[in-house]
Amino acid sequence: MDKASLMRAFKVMCSEAGAAMSDKCKLSAAPLLGLKPLDIREAHIRSQQLGKEICYDGRVIHANICASARVPNSRLLLCLVEADDADNAGAAFLHVFNALASTCTRQDAAQSMFPTDARLAIKEPLCYRSIMHVSSPASLHFLGLAKRLRRRPLEELRREGSRFMAKGSFLMAELYFTECIDVFAARDASTYGPVEKDVFSSRAECRLKLGKFEEAVADADMALSISGDGGIAVRRRSLWSKGRGLSALQEHQLALECLESAMKQGDEEEEEEQALASEIDQCKVFLRQSQHGDYDLSPYFLPNKASDTPLQCSDYFGPLEIKHTHDGRGRGIFLTRDVQLGDLLLACNPIAAVSSAASHDADEDLVVEIVKACVESERRLEQIYAMADREAAEVTALPDLAPFKCNTGKVAATPRSSRGVDVARIRRARDRVGYSSQGSGGSYVPGLWASVGLINHSCIPNASKMSIGDVVFVRAAKDLKAGDEVLLSYLEPPLAPYAGYREKMIQQYNFECSCERCKLERSHRHVLGDLPGYEDDRGGSGLAIKVDDDVMDVVVEIEKRIKGMSEQEKDWIRAGFVDHYSAVCMLRDPRVPIDCEQLLRIMRETGSGSKHTLSRIAFLCNISGRKPETMKVLYEQVTALYGRQSPEVVDAITRKYRIPSLNM
Ligand SMILES: C[S@@+](CC[C@H](N)C(=O)[O-])C[C@H]1O[C@@H](n2cnc3c(N)ncnc32)[C@H](O)[C@@H]1O
């Protein structure tokens, strides 16, 4: 293929990828955020024949970086590499788009993605004839340093590594330490001494900073296994890194042992001593949280304790198992023992979340973030792979629970993620189980939370989902029995009229809900469909409903049409019209056989565990004169969402939502 046709095909490919691109940018060698233009002298392509197509082998291009690129609208859209195709003597163009999250404009972030002098392999590109298309940062794999740097003596490489580390350039430092290790790797490990120990320990620290937790633990273990004198400080440092790595991998029991053992090594500056002591305290908190689901929310609700630092807490996996539902809903999460309303079932840090609501393309950014997280950590990769099957849209396999749990005592030795990540599978996981959670600023951040994503939906939920910062908490919103399935309402509010709400469900989540309430409403749509507000997808157009005769007429009409139904069925239909019924409760009309207490019960049974229900119940409490029975229901709803908290925290929560004080 000649160069002109390649360029044409390349343009088509770019437009297919939705990347608007000008001719000027294609061959420009303008530095990207201060990075040097690409040096392609080392470019090298291996190809193999598969049938008639020429495909490229797993790791195809080695080049010095950096590429030319542009940052339109503060967004790094693409990087281009023009390289000689070794086999065809033609040109090959490499297109890496959205390699950084679209909101990333910082030079240091770009540089850490494309550090000068590092040797890069671009893995697993799609290949359209001679054109390679690399669509994710997982494809960028750092092999080491440029050849000219690699030939330097060990001491110099080590010094450079330490220099980069001190500057906070951990990717480069890791590359230098890896080169050091390559120098002595040929020797028998029994000959290793203090230098080797120090190099492994330093690389462990870098990998920790880069989020490569399993690899950091492996390096720290290697450092700790090297015997020899004079290594107390290195030993302590290695134990400290190992403890931090284990903690990030939710192995808090092992982490605590390492950190306490680091403390026993002594001989450290006072400041470091304090830092280590506070990490030990923090680790004890994580251990308690991960074992007992015991989370103190007071720092986030009490004004005098309010902290600006994001919530840091461990994951928690409650008395749960994953099983097939056997009714077409795929897998679900089930209880292994009885629980009470408010009991914590899951606490989950995100596998990945898009940090800025101002993102230009949050969905794609989420893929980028997930891929990065999976490249860094085997645990996360396993969590993701558990959520989406290799091929089919239908998920059949029951995942191993170990990657979701804490304190399993196991850490993957060699991250499989370094061998490649299946981006298509990651996209499937994002489509299937990704969702937005309300961040601390109130805006919704798209993200992916392990295990929470395996909970099925119901329009009669029995669990609540609440987030503080990035952490999602799932609690029992009713007293539940062993064997019950945990069910969340994906849409807020669950108390909404059927038609519009369920259509929104299909639009947003791409499935038709098969819960009993939906089945009932579907079969009665011909009877109820023309009721005012029935097609409303806003659900609870709210307390804005005017208290007048029209509302009363709607409610009288509903009551007429549901006459032949069972009490349970009537309540499900009424639940879709809670605002109308609340208004009617204010009017106290004898034609409607529903009073405040009954309406509260309907709300609690049908929509427990949502902020919407909480606010409706608060409204009813107010209009019914804050009787102890109604206040009890209100208190239950606070517990369903936030768990059993101290009276001060409950008070702060009720103030936050402007609901009546629960101090009776
Ligand atoms: C977030 S996933 C839940 C876990 C999923 N069951 C699995 O096996 O991976 C959401 C998917 O589960 C199924 N699902 C969940 N709740 C459902 C419901 N109420 N009715 C029908 N399908 C449901 C749908 O296929 C939906 O796309």
**384-408: per-residue pLDDT in tens?**
888 776 555 555 678 888 889 999 9
Whether the per-residue pLDDT at 557 is higher than 80: the answer is yes
Distance 353 CA to ligand 1 centre (A): 21
Distance 486 CA to ligand 1 centre (A): 12
Assess if residue 421 is contained within a domain.
yes
- Whether 372 is in the pocket of ligand 1, judged by its Cβ within 6 Å, is no
Is the domain of 39 the same as that of 121?
yes
Distance 639 CA to ligand 1 centre (A): 26
- Whether 45 and 86 have beta carbons less than 8 Å apart is answered as yes
Mean pLDDT of 305-321: 80
Lowest mean pLDDT among 102-106, 168-172, 173-177, 489-493: 102-106
- Whether 517 is in the pocket of ligand 1, judged by its Cβ within 6 Å, is no
- Whether 458 is in the pocket of ligand 1, judged by its Cβ within 6 Å, is yes
Distance 472 CA to ligand 1 centre (A): 19
- Whether 454 is in the pocket of ligand 1, judged by its Cβ within 6 Å, is yes
Residue identifier of the C-alpha nearest atom 22 of ligand 1: 329
Mean pLDDT of 368-372: 77
What ligand 1 atom has the least distance to the C-alpha of 325?
Answer: 6
Phi, psi of 346 (to 5 degrees): -145, 140
Distance 610 CA to ligand 1 centre (A): 19
Q: Which residue has the higher pLDDT, 24 or 47?
A: 47
Whether the per-residue pLDDT at 582 is higher than 80: the answer is yes
- Whether 389 is in the pocket of ligand 1, judged by its Cβ within 6 Å, is no
Q: Domain total for the chain?
A: 4
Q: Which residue has the higher pLDDT, 181 or 65?
A: 181
pLDDT tier, 21 (very low <50, low <70, confident <90, very high otherwise): very low
What pLDDT is stored for residue 112 in this prediction?
59
Residue identifier of the C-alpha nearest atom 21 of ligand 1: 513
* 463 strand-pairing partners: 476
Give the CA-trace dihedral at 508, 348, 364, 110, to 10 degrees. Answer: 160
- Whether 505 is in the pocket of ligand 1, judged by its Cβ within 6 Å, is no
Mean pLDDT of 28-37: 39
What pLDDT is stored for residue 359 in this prediction?
53
Mean pLDDT of 368-377: 78
- Whether 331 is in the pocket of ligand 1, judged by its Cβ within 6 Å, is yes
* 465 strand-pairing partners: 474
* 402 Cβ contact partners less than 8 Å away, ≥ 6 residues apart: 408, 410
d(C-alpha 492, C-alpha 39), whole Å:
53
Is the domain of 248 the same as that of 335?
no
Lowest mean pLDDT among 15-29, 30-44, 491-505: 15-29
What pLDDT is stored for residue 314 in this prediction?
95
Residue identifier of the C-alpha nearest atom 15 of ligand 1: 456
Give the CA-trace dihedral at 82, 83, 85, 86, to 10 degrees. Answer: 170
pLDDT tier, 121 (very low <50, low <70, confident <90, very high otherwise): low
- Whether 433 is in the pocket of ligand 1, judged by its Cβ within 6 Å, is yes
Whether the per-residue pLDDT at 99 is higher than 70: the answer is no
Whether the per-residue pLDDT at 554 is higher than 70: the answer is yes
Assess if residue 661 is contained within a domain.
no
> pLDDT exceeding 90 applies to what percent of the chain?
27
- Whether 456 is in the pocket of ligand 1, judged by its Cβ within 6 Å, is yes
Residue identifier of the C-alpha nearest atom 25 of ligand 1: 329
In the sheet that holds 344-348, the strands lie side by side as: 316-317, 344-348, 471-476, 463-468
What pLDDT is stored for residue 132 in this prediction?
44
* 449 strand-pairing partners: 350
- Whether 320 is in the pocket of ligand 1, judged by its Cβ within 6 Å, is no
Mutate to test the pocket of ligand 1, among 433, 457, 505 (most ligand atoms within 8 A of CB): 457
CATH code of the domain in which 469 resides: 2.170.270.10
Distance 453 CA to ligand 1 centre (A): 9
Assess if residue 301 is contained within a domain.
no
What pLDDT is stored for residue 73 in this prediction?
33
32: helix, coil or strand?
coil
What pLDDT is stored for residue 399 in this prediction?
81
- Whether 606 and 572 have beta carbons less than 8 Å apart is answered as yes
- Whether 384 is in the pocket of ligand 1, judged by its Cβ within 6 Å, is no
What pLDDT is stored for residue 37 in this prediction?
41
- Whether 150 and 179 have beta carbons less than 8 Å apart is answered as yes
Is the domain of 204 the same as that of 68?
no
- Whether 513 is in the pocket of ligand 1, judged by its Cβ within 6 Å, is yes
Is the domain of 161 the same as that of 90?
no
Task: Quick: pLDDT tens for 413-430.
Answer: 665 544 456 767 777 777
Residue identifier of the C-alpha nearest atom 26 of ligand 1: 511
- Whether 113 and 100 have beta carbons less than 8 Å apart is answered as yes
DSSP code at position 39: B
Mutate to test the pocket of ligand 1, among 320, 327, 329 (most ligand atoms within 8 A of CB): 329
For residue 491, CA distances in Å to 117, 347, 615 come to 49, 20, 16
What pLDDT is stored for residue 24 in this prediction?
28
Is the domain of 346 the same as that of 484?
yes
- Backbone φ/ψ region at 420: left (φ over 0), alpha (ψ -120 to 50), beta: left
Mutate to test the pocket of ligand 1, among 351, 456, 472 (most ligand atoms within 8 A of CB): 456
Pairing type for strands 78-84 and 91-97 reads antiparallel
Distance 134 CA to ligand 1 centre (A): 31
CB atoms within 10 A of CB 249: 24
Distance 578 CA to ligand 1 centre (A): 27
Assess if residue 518 is contained within a domain.
no
Assess if residue 386 is contained within a domain.
yes
Distance 329 CA to ligand 1 centre (A): 5
pLDDT tier, 664 (very low <50, low <70, confident <90, very high otherwise): very low
Q: Which residue has the higher pLDDT, 367 or 575?
A: 575
Lowest mean pLDDT among 286-300, 478-492, 522-536, 622-636: 522-536
Is the domain of 277 the same as that of 373?
no
Whether the per-residue pLDDT at 333 is higher than 60: the answer is yes
Here the ipTM equals 0.99
- Whether 117 and 36 have beta carbons less than 8 Å apart is answered as no
Task: Quick: pLDDT tens for 152-167.
Answer: 899 999 999 999 999 8
Closest CA to 556 of 535, 525, 587, 526: 587
What ligand 1 atom has the least distance to the C-alpha of 515?
Answer: 19
CB atoms within 10 A of CB 217: 28
Whether the per-residue pLDDT at 76 is higher than 50: the answer is no
Whole-angstrom Cα Rg for the chain:
29
CATH code of the domain in which 201 resides: 1.25.40.10
- Whether 453 is in the pocket of ligand 1, judged by its Cβ within 6 Å, is yes
Distance 449 CA to ligand 1 centre (A): 15
Distance 325 CA to ligand 1 centre (A): 10
Assess if residue 506 is contained within a domain.
no
Residue identifier of the C-alpha nearest atom 18 of ligand 1: 513
Whether the per-residue pLDDT at 1 is higher than 50: the answer is no
Q: Which residue, 488, 511, 536, sits at the end of a domain?
A: 488
d(C-alpha 149, C-alpha 143), whole Å:
13
Counting every residue, how long is the chain? 664
What pLDDT is stored for residue 49 in this prediction?
39
Assess if residue 465 is contained within a domain.
yes
* 562 Cβ contact partners less than 8 Å away, ≥ 6 residues apart: 569, 570, 573, 574
Mean pLDDT of 180-192: 89
Lowest mean pLDDT among 63-72, 163-172, 636-645: 63-72
Assess if residue 228 is contained within a domain.
yes
Is the domain of 435 the same as that of 377?
yes
Residue identifier of the C-alpha nearest atom 4 of ligand 1: 454
What would the two tokens of residue 331 be? 């897998």
- Whether 330 is in the pocket of ligand 1, judged by its Cβ within 6 Å, is yes
Is the domain of 171 the same as that of 110?
no
* 291 Cβ contact partners less than 8 Å away, ≥ 6 residues apart: 406, 407
Cis peptide before 493 (omega within 30 of 0): yes
Helices marked H in 210-336 — which ranges? 213-225, 232-248, 252-264, 270-292, 298-301
Is the domain of 359 the same as that of 378?
yes
What would the two tokens of residue 530 be? 């023309």
What ligand 1 atom has the least distance to the C-alpha of 513?
Answer: 20
What pLDDT is stored for residue 18 in this prediction?
32
245: helix, coil or strand?
helix
What pLDDT is stored for residue 200 in this prediction?
96
* 81 strand-pairing partners: 94
Is the domain of 158 the same as that of 137?
no
Task: Quick: pLDDT tens for 195-238.
Answer: 999 999 999 999 999 888 999 999 999 999 998 766 788 899 99
- Whether 515 is in the pocket of ligand 1, judged by its Cβ within 6 Å, is yes
Lowest mean pLDDT among 215-219, 244-248, 271-275, 375-379: 375-379
**Range with the largest mean pLDDT of 308-317, 359-368, 414-423:** 308-317
What pLDDT is stored for residue 441 in this prediction?
52
What pLDDT is stored for residue 260 in this prediction?
96
Whether the per-residue pLDDT at 508 is higher than 60: the answer is yes
Is the domain of 335 the same as that of 472?
yes
Q: Which residue has the higher pLDDT, 620 or 130?
A: 620
- Whether 575 is in the pocket of ligand 1, judged by its Cβ within 6 Å, is no
Mean pLDDT of 240-255: 96
What pLDDT is stored for residue 108 in this prediction?
57
- Whether 511 is in the pocket of ligand 1, judged by its Cβ within 6 Å, is yes
Q: What is the mean pLDDT of the chain?
A: 74
What pLDDT is stored for residue 415 in this prediction?
56
Residue identifier of the C-alpha nearest atom 14 of ligand 1: 329
Is the domain of 441 the same as that of 473?
yes
Q: Classify the C-alpha dihedral 586-587-588-589 as positive or negative.
A: negative
d(C-alpha 200, C-alpha 224), whole Å:
9
Whether the per-residue pLDDT at 17 is higher than 60: the answer is no
Measured at the alpha carbon of residue 486, what is the angle toward residues 480 and 491, in degrees to the nearest 5? 120
What pLDDT is stored for residue 444 in this prediction?
62
Range of the domain at 460: 316-488
Lowest mean pLDDT among 256-260, 295-299, 359-363: 359-363
Distance 456 CA to ligand 1 centre (A): 5
> Environment class of residue 307 by beta-carbon count within 10 Å: exposed (0-12), middle (13-18) or buried (19+)?
exposed
d(C-alpha 388, C-alpha 80), whole Å:
31
What pLDDT is stored for residue 654 in this prediction?
81
* 662 Cβ contact partners less than 8 Å away, ≥ 6 residues apart: 631, 634, 635, 638, 650, 651, 654
What would the two tokens of residue 374 be? 């999976």
What ligand 1 atom has the least distance to the C-alpha of 331?
Answer: 8
Distance 490 CA to ligand 1 centre (A): 10
